[in-house]
Amino acid sequence: MLLQPFRQGTTQYRSLVWPGVTVDLINNEYLLLQSPVPLTTFSSAIWGGGMEKGTHFVNWRVPLSYRCEDPVQLMADQIKKWGYPLEKTIGFQTAAKVTHGAIAEEEGDQYRLFCCVTAGTGNSARAGKKRETFSAYECHTINIFLFIDGHLTPAAMVNGIITATEAKVAALQDLGIKDEEGDLATGTTTDAIVIGASQNPAYTRPHLFAGAATTIGNGIGRLVYETVYTAVSTQGEE
């Protein structure tokens, strides 16, 4: 099932396959995703990046004019201001419309998957070609939140990120998104992702891999493709 619930006027979405997983739209300013159990996470988040544990996940839309010398501290300050636990919160920033976040989920072979994506392509780019680079921070543009109720090895989590990235690229190419020189884009210059696994002991068989030929990898690929495609293609709509 693929949805853009916040375009329909609602401010909260409750997962249909994983009870307790919710997404709230707060003041049209940010999305708050919550898990009923701490997730083992691997991410490129501004706050809580790397290998962490998290129950709260914030996707904060900042102005296009946003500039910050210390984005990590700014993110921490905002999380504290909102009242969420710093040690359990994973924080992202974006320049895309959070109201147009796309959600897809499914239950499958020893897993439940929940995927939420916000996406814009104003700074689209193609990896693998020479271009002007920068060291200053800019806001994330395509943000992927991938929650898995299942048991994954660390290697499978990395594999899942690879599969999700490949699916993102496929969606952008099918949409014909190009960089400023007219080449097909593989993403934007500021994409980010988090994969979080419950490591639920009720799942007795761990996923060792998450490539496109595995059941869980196929699910990851399809959900990420669908949500990226939808979030990007509707950015210009109300």
Reference 194, options 122, 115, 78; nearest CA is: 115
Q: Which domains does the chain have, with CATH numbers?
A: 2-233 (3.60.70)
Q: Which amino acid is at 185?
A: A
Mean pLDDT, consecutive 10-residue segments, the chain of 238 residues? 91 98 97 98 97 97 74 93 97 94 97 97 90 61 97 98 98 96 94 97 95 98 98 92
Reference 107, options 21, 23, 38; nearest CA is: 21
Reference 90, options 138, 137, 33, 36; nearest CA is: 33
> 156 and 207 in contact (C-beta within 8 Å)?
yes
Angle at 17 between CA 11 and CA 22, to 5 degrees: 30
Number of H helices and E strands in the chain, helices first, is: 3, 12
Reference 95, options 6, 191, 7, 26; nearest CA is: 191
Give the pLDDT of residue 35.
Answer: 98
Give the pLDDT of residue 68.
Answer: 72
Give the pLDDT of residue 130.
Answer: 81
Region for residue 48 given its phi and psi (left: phi exceeds 0; alpha: psi -120 to 50; beta: otherwise):
left
Give the pLDDT of residue 127.
Answer: 93
